[in-house]
Every structure is written in structure tokens, then in C-alpha cells.
Amino acid sequence: MEEDRPMKKMAEAFKELCNRLNEFPEGEEARLELAAFANACSLVSPLIRCLGGAFLFADIDYVSKVKDLVEASKSVSVLPVMIDNDVRSDCVRTIRSNTRNLLRMKRTLDMMKILFEQIISSEYVLPLPAAVASCFMGNSLKDPALEAYSVFTSYHGFGIRKDVTAGMFDAIPTKAEMLNKLNEDGDFYYAYYYLINLSICLIESSIINYFPDSETSSRIQMQNFISSAAQVSEYIEQLLISRGLGSEW
């Protein structure tokens, strides 16, 4: 059912944010509604939880910040005004300030964007014998997750980095398991992956194709989110830079 497909809902929500941004003339600062932004961001949490215990830190922190922005949206209409209010109050870098929360949420969106980019980029070319082994072992998300986590490594202490990395080796799901949890082509993926892909492994000498020629909905939604999240992230970056705040803090 459509309402049970969080990846599709998330991708559509961020696409709508981009549509709103694109309504503003070039050169004019867009005034994205805070309520719409917070609502779209709330749809990311189910995907973070599907990554397992290694990303528990991200989900707990992210959810609390989304709730804070939802509350802020009751009194502030758009993102630029929210940031300007914090600048006037000299509380931009204060813990749980709206601007600080916005920056942390941006990093989580960047993390998910990189994760999907890595998943898509690793779908096609995989040389044997690794291709043959993958038919039986599952399609690991460990490497994509490690690359995605790089967004946070500069801001996390050694202890957190160690725990997250260890969790990726012990508890990270396979791609098929993640899609199954999200109701995004899970049943199809299992059937195709373990049956059709096995045949390909046996007859192909150098490459393996994890998806059929017609793109599956999960891959399409990942691509849609990548494009939309990149635009939203760049918008937030420019809001911060234009006010002399930067984003490396």
C-alpha cells in the first residue's frame, strides 16, 4: 500500500520542497516554509531506523531536532526568518537552537543522500568471484554506510566513531533486508536476487546486474531523493553562508 512505503513518501515530500524553492525567481532568497521542511524531514526517520543499531545515534538525535523544528514552526513561518531570529538573539551555536538543529538535520540528509548514491553506484559492476559470493551472502550495506557516515566523522569523538563502525560490522542489514523493512520491492528483490541473479553469476564472466533493465521503484525513489536532498541541502548551506555563519561547526 502507498501509505506503507516510507521511501516513496519521503522522496515525494522532498520533491515538493524543491518545487517550492523553484517558485522563487533566480537571485531572490527563497523563503521555504518551516512547517513543510520539518514535515518532510520527519519522513526520513523510518529509513534511518532501517539501518540498524549502528545508526541509533543518528535516529535519536535527528528525531529530537525534528520535533524542535516542528514546535518552532508554530511561531516562525520560514527558514530565513528562523535563522535571523537566532542571529539577533545571539544564540546560533547554542545547544538546541533552531539554527544549530537545522545544521545537524542537514548533515543527516547529506548522510542519507550519500548512502543512496553509494547503493546505486554499487548495483551494477561487481567482478567475479565476488559476484558469485554475493549471490549467496546477500548485498551488504556496510561499505555504503561507512561512506555515508563520513559526513559525521569530523564532529564525533573517537568513542562514538568506534561504536558506530563496530555496529556496522555487527548489525548493518543487507540491501534486501532494508528494502523489505520499507516495503519497497522487498519480496521482488529477494526473489530476483537469489534466483535470477544466481543464473547471471553462472553465465556471465565479468559483471553482474542487480536489477532488471526496467528500474525498480526503490531505485527510482532513491534517485529522486538524491536530487531533491542535494537541492535542499545546498539551499540551507547558502542560508548559513549568506549570514556569515558557515556550516563547519
**Per-residue pLDDT tens for 28-78?**
999 999 999 999 999 999 999 888 877 887 888 899 999 999 999 999 999
Task: State residue 185's pLDDT score.
Answer: 54
Task: State residue 166's pLDDT score.
Answer: 80
Is the pLDDT confidence value at 111 over 90? yes
Question: Closest Cα partner for 125 from 40, 203, 233, 206?
Answer: 206
Task: Show me where the domains of the chain are located.
Answer: 2-123+215-242
Cβ proximity of 224 and 11 under 8 Å: yes
Task: State residue 107's pLDDT score.
Answer: 96
Three-state SS for 33? Answer: strand
Task: State residue 210's pLDDT score.
Answer: 45
Structurally, at CATH architecture level, domain 2-123+215-242 sits in Orthogonal Bundle (1.10)
Is the pLDDT confidence value at 17 over 90? yes
Cβ proximity of 89 and 209 under 8 Å: no
Question: Closest Cα partner for 105 from 46, 152, 52?
Answer: 152
C-alpha cell at 205: 564472466
Three-state SS for 78? Answer: strand
Is the pLDDT confidence value at 2 over 70? no
Sign of CA dihedral 181, 3, 146, 225: positive
CA distance 78 to 1: 33
Question: Closest Cα partner for 35 from 17, 51, 53, 18?
Answer: 17
C-alpha cell at 234: 545546498
pTM, full prediction = 0.82
CA distance 69 to 46: 18
Tell me the residue type at 79: L
**Residue 228 CB coordination number (10 Å):** 24
User: pLDDT band at 216, cuts 50/70/90?
Assistant: low
Q: Residue 94: which region, alpha, beta or left (left: phi > 0; alpha: psi -120 to 50)?
A: beta
Task: State residue 52's pLDDT score.
Answer: 81
Share of the chain above pLDDT 70, in %: 78
Three-state SS for 235? Answer: helix
Helix pair 142-153, 158-171: axis angle to 10 deg: 170
Mean pLDDT of the residues in the chain:
82
